[in-house]
Chains A and B, each alone.
Chain A
Amino acid sequence: MPRRGDAPVSPSPRAQGRSGPGRLAAAWAVATFAALAALQGAPGIPRDEGALVARAEGGIVSLARGGTPPLGPALAGAAHAAGSRLGLSHLRSFRLGSALAGALLSALLALAARTIAGPAAGLLAPALFWLAPRTLHAGLVATPDLALAALSLAAVLAWRWASSAERPAWTAGLAGALLGAAILARADAWTLALALALHAAAIGVLARREGPGVPGAAAAPAKLGIAALFCAAAVLGAWPGALKAGLGPWLPPAGGALAPLFLLAAVPLPLLWAFAGGLGHALARLAGAVRSRARDPFASDDALLVLAALAALGGSALAHAPAGARPFLHGLPFLALLGARALLRAAALAWPARQGTLAAALALLVLYPGVRSAGLAFPDGTSAWNELAGGAPGAASRGLRRQDGGEAAGALLATVNARAAPGARIWWPGISPAAVALYARDGRLRPDLAEAAGPDDADLAVVALDGGSRDAEYRAWSALRTARPAAGVYVDEVPTALVYARPGAWR
């Protein structure tokens, strides 16, 4: 970042000239979309995705009136309509919206990173975000998480744009509208409003400290805030169901206070180190700016990125975020930005003569374990835990979740199709009924296999194990008179889905 000797780390002026910011962003967007679209057929359907797909099929009016944010289902519905025309399967069509959101997020990340830390950061920051099992998995399923991440980053960048100079009010309005859209994706995004408010207060304080010499500076935050709030409220008007839903979607469920700690176990260790270093670097720069009491145009950026990252992390404790490791996903782009800048800055400072080589070596060492882990975990990205947790086995020993909600059963469908007796009735505890219906519609389940209402009516039980209660599985033992699974999905020896069969129902 160009301040006080923080020269942007770039390969060479000639290379900078060759790759413009737009081209870099476009390249990231295209690569992200292509990779996500290609891989989207593999993962099973988690419970939240099943619910979202069911809502997406309910129509726009029911989306707006429902008690959960409507943007995710609306995006999935629109993607389904477009994908079906292209001849894609239902599942791939619904998931296409996530690929689009992922492409937008990559482009924004590349642009933002290039702006704050040079072209090399534009290359590195999206890689720091994507090359981990859980972030990659978020791009492969139709949940609102990635749309939220893209909209949060867009809102913060718009806010930065609006607050960086004397911009017209509509720029703040754009930031507010994007914030409103982020809340329409997932209600816990309201914590981002808190971050923007704190940032506005901070730049107000800085402006007052610099004295009356800066024209209009003290009034700017108030103007910004009012414009942003107005536009956020206008966008939120598209969700009248929020009023009926009460406080449920906005406040945390019981026991959510420890949710941010999942980050320590969910992100590969080297990425965690880079993120922590980025956060520490930004905080150190902020502390330096506060101590020096001099006008520092970059302190505002540091404060904004740190606040946005912390808002997302805090949101998992303060707001009604999904369970497991998904709540803070929209904070990771900010951490990736800070981490990329810190890595490049560290390489430049540690070995100025060989900064490019050192930066490349560090990037490789930080990214490769994540790539390897994502490759090994695919398509069960939500079963992956980092080295501190001891991977899936260590996480299972500590009682951490084995999956988000039944998606591991997707890997059993081929075996069930091959081995289930004709006309077998299957009970699916822990797996969303909408997911089962979608598997059947997509032809992933044999048409003669029927869904059983309970264990007593079933010939087979396909049980998803998420690390929580296993009462349904034990009921299947009783009903099917066996505790011996006929087939299973294991992630590093940890079972995530099992099939139990009545004698004669499994060939």
Chain B
Amino acid sequence: MGVLAREVEALRDTLRGWADTARRLWIGRPGAARTAAIVFAAGAAIAGLAALLVQVRLPGRLPAPRDWAALRVLVERDARPGDAVALSPAWAERARGILPSSVTVLAHGRWEGEDLLGVRRVWLVSLPRAPGFSWRAESDLLQRAARPGIPARLGAIEVTRLELAFPAIPLAFLPDRVAQAKDPAEGAVREVREVAGIPRPCLVVGGGGAPLTLPLSFEPVLVGRLVRGHLGAVGTAGLRAPVRVAVRVDGEEAGAAEVSGAGFVPFQIDTTRFASRVRHLSMVLTLPGGEGQLCLDAATLP
């Protein structure tokens, strides 16, 4: 008991000493103005050092020329027809000038709802240490992948090969067929235009502002179970009024869709009864007045 009492007394003395020190410090504390000045000066020093640290570390978080060169070598060696390179973040577009021109380079912020026509395999090129990097693009693509590959590091670049679980391989991409037609539809031009922030290879139609019924005929194509396409307004957020899109096969209407809304709006027509044959395909667009230019893509799918 005597030992315990001595220990307790020693503990009390220690605590009393600490309390006295704290009291003295509290009594001798700087005034509010001086405290604020110390905090502000310390903050300025920390802000300065933090800014320098961020600036100095930035080049190391971005790809060096040798990283891009390594990526080019890798893609040149292993790329196959049906491969596309997806960039994340989308501004990492130096890849366009570096990668072989045989490979399609896609720079989209999000991939949700994008068809990725003709793409079987995606090379996801990401800069995971770049400022502002987000995993959303990765997440979108991983959800569509059957077999995600093992990421490879090329300096600041990370490359992952993804086999798409359900690749959309078109039998025919219709905007490419109208350009080859003997009598191309009046007012339809094959271009790449920006719709919903993404480059879209499409037929650009309309733009006059007046109501219009526009027939578009294509050279004979192999027809499958579906004609799937998209329609969007160029330069505005969305279609002002519904646009009717009718698909005709060998002169017979296979179906029609009323397309409206924001972005690159999808539509699809069932063509099962015409499937597996090369046929004359045409579309009729009924445009309400007041629309600007519209971007139309469509493909026949198996």
Whether a CB of chain A sits under 8 angstroms from the CB of B105 is yes
Scan B127-154; emit 1 where CB is below 8 A from any A CB, else 0. Answer: 1001111100000000000000000000
Interface residues of A in 249-284 (CB under 8 A from B): 268-270, 272-274, 277, 281, 284
Scan B95-126; emit 1 where CB is below 8 A from any A CB, else 0. Answer: 01100010001000000000000000000000
Whether a CB of chain B sits under 8 angstroms from the CB of A85 is no
Q: Contact check: which of B51, B59, B96, B193 meets A474 at CB < 8 Å?
A: B193
CB–CB B44/A366 < 8 A? yes
Scan B184-212; emit 1 where CB is below 8 A from any A CB, else 0. Answer: 00000011111000010000000000000
Among B16-24, B34-42, B242-250, B251-259, which stretch is in contact with chain A? B34-42
Contact residues in B for A486 (Cβ distance below 8 Å): 97
CB–CB A478/B55 < 8 A? no
The main secondary structure of chain A at its interface with chain B is helix
Whether a CB of chain B sits under 8 angstroms from the CB of A55 is no
Given known contacts A366-B44, A376-B55, A393-B132, A269 and B50 CB-to-CB distance under 8 angstroms: yes
Among A117-125, A162-170, A325-333, A340-348, which stretch is in contact with chain B? A340-348
**CB nearest neighbor in B for A490:** B94
Please report the C-alpha to C-alpha distance between residue A56 and residue B199 in the assembled complex, in whole angstroms. 38
Please report the C-alpha to C-alpha distance between residue A470 and residue B235 in the assembled complex, in whole angstroms. 10
**CB nearest neighbor in A for B104:** A483
CB–CB A347/B41 < 8 A? yes
Q: Contact check: which of A268, A364, A482, A488 meets B51 at CB < 8 Å?
A: A268
CB–CB B49/A365 < 8 A? yes
Contact residues in A for B130 (Cβ distance below 8 Å): 393-394, 397, 493
Whether a CB of chain A sits under 8 angstroms from the CB of B74 is no
Contact residues in A for B52 (Cβ distance below 8 Å): 368-369, 372
CB–CB A277/B44 < 8 A? yes
Contact residues in A for B48 (Cβ distance below 8 Å): 270, 362, 364-366, 368-369
**CB nearest neighbor in B for A487:** B97
Whether a CB of chain B sits under 8 angstroms from the CB of A391 is yes
Please report the C-alpha to C-alpha distance between residue A389 and residue B92 in the assembled complex, in whole angstroms. 17
Interface residues of B in 46-81 (CB under 8 A from A): 47-52, 54-55, 58-59, 62-63
CB–CB A342/B199 < 8 A? no
Whether a CB of chain A sits under 8 angstroms from the CB of B290 is no
CB–CB B91/A343 < 8 A? no
Whether a CB of chain B sits under 8 angstroms from the CB of A34 is no
Given known contacts A270-B48, A277-B40, A277-B43, A471 and B63 CB-to-CB distance under 8 angstroms: no
Given known contacts A390-B132, A397-B91, A485-B96, A477 and B43 CB-to-CB distance under 8 angstroms: no
Please report the C-alpha to C-alpha distance between residue A43 and residue B73 in the assembled complex, in whole angstroms. 35
Whether a CB of chain A sits under 8 angstroms from the CB of B162 is no
Given known contacts A390-B132, A493-B63, A346 and B94 CB-to-CB distance under 8 angstroms: no
Whether a CB of chain A sits under 8 angstroms from the CB of B45 is yes
Please report the C-alpha to C-alpha distance between residue A492 and residue B133 in the assembled complex, in whole angstroms. 14
Least Cβ distance of B17 to chain A in Å? 29
Whether a CB of chain B sits under 8 angstroms from the CB of A440 is no
Contact residues in A for B37 (Cβ distance below 8 Å): 345-350
Please report the C-alpha to C-alpha distance between residue A419 and residue B59 in the assembled complex, in whole angstroms. 29
Q: Contact check: which of A350, A358, A396, A487 meets B91 at CB < 8 Å?
A: A396
Scan A423-453; emit 1 where CB is below 8 A from any B CB, else 0. Answer: 0000000000000000000000000000000
CB–CB A493/B191 < 8 A? no
Q: Contact check: which of B47, B58, B193, B235 meets A492 at CB < 8 Å?
A: B58
Contact residues in A for B199 (Cβ distance below 8 Å): 470, 474, 477, 483
**CB nearest neighbor in A for B33:** A349
Whether a CB of chain A sits under 8 angstroms from the CB of B89 is yes
CB–CB B51/A493 < 8 A? no
CB–CB A350/B191 < 8 A? no
Please report the C-alpha to C-alpha distance between residue A273 and residue B40 in the assembled complex, in whole angstroms. 8
Given known contacts A368-B52, A485-B96, A396 and B62 CB-to-CB distance under 8 angstroms: no
CB–CB B55/A274 < 8 A? no
Whether a CB of chain B sits under 8 angstroms from the CB of A398 is yes
CB–CB A471/B193 < 8 A? yes
CB–CB A485/B97 < 8 A? yes
Q: Contact check: which of A273, A284, A391 meets B131 at CB < 8 Å?
A: A391
Least Cβ distance of A280 to chain B in Å? 8
Q: Contact check: which of A277, A350, A475, A494 meets B38 at CB < 8 Å?
A: A350
Contact residues in B for A376 (Cβ distance below 8 Å): 55
Please report the C-alpha to C-alpha distance between residue A269 and residue B164 in the assembled complex, in whole angstroms. 43
Q: Contact check: which of B33, B47, B127, B134 meets A270 at CB < 8 Å?
A: B47
CB–CB A475/B91 < 8 A? no
Least Cβ distance of A336 to chain B in Å? 14
Whether a CB of chain A sits under 8 angstroms from the CB of B84 is no
**CB nearest neighbor in A for B194:** A471
Whether a CB of chain A sits under 8 angstroms from the CB of B13 is no
Least Cβ distance of B162 to chain A in Å? 22
Please report the C-alpha to C-alpha distance between residue A349 and residue B34 in the assembled complex, in whole angstroms. 5
Whether a CB of chain B sits under 8 angstroms from the CB of A244 is no
CB–CB B44/A273 < 8 A? yes
CB–CB B94/A269 < 8 A? no
Whether a CB of chain A sits under 8 angstroms from the CB of B7 is no
**CB nearest neighbor in B for A395:** B132
Whether a CB of chain B sits under 8 angstroms from the CB of A41 is no
CB–CB B45/A365 < 8 A? yes
Contact residues in A for B43 (Cβ distance below 8 Å): 273, 277
CB–CB B94/A358 < 8 A? no
Among A284, A393, A482, chain B packs the most CB atoms within 10 A around the CB of A393
Interface residues of A in 359-382 (CB under 8 A from B): 361-362, 364-366, 368-369, 372-373, 376
CB–CB B41/A398 < 8 A? no
The 10 closest A-B pairs by CB, nearest first: A397-B132, A390-B131, A365-B48, A394-B131, A349-B37, A369-B51, A394-B132, A471-B194, A273-B47, A346-B37
Chain A residues proximal to chain B, CB less than 8 Å: 268-270, 272-274, 277, 281, 284, 342-343, 345-350, 358, 361-362, 364-366, 368-369, 372-373, 376, 386-387, 389-391, 393-398, 469-471, 474-475, 477-478, 482-488, 490, 492-495
| Beyond A270-B47, A387-B54, 10 additional pairs, beta carbon < 8 A | A277-B43, A343-B44, A346-B37, A350-B34, A350-B41, A365-B44, A365-B48, A366-B47, A386-B51, A483-B96
Contacts A/B (CB < 8 Å), 24 sampled: A268-B51, A270-B44, A270-B47, A270-B48, A270-B51, A349-B34, A362-B45, A365-B45, A365-B49, A369-B48, A372-B52, A376-B55, A393-B89, A394-B131, A395-B132, A469-B235, A475-B191, A475-B193, A478-B190, A483-B192, A484-B96, A486-B97, A487-B97, A492-B59
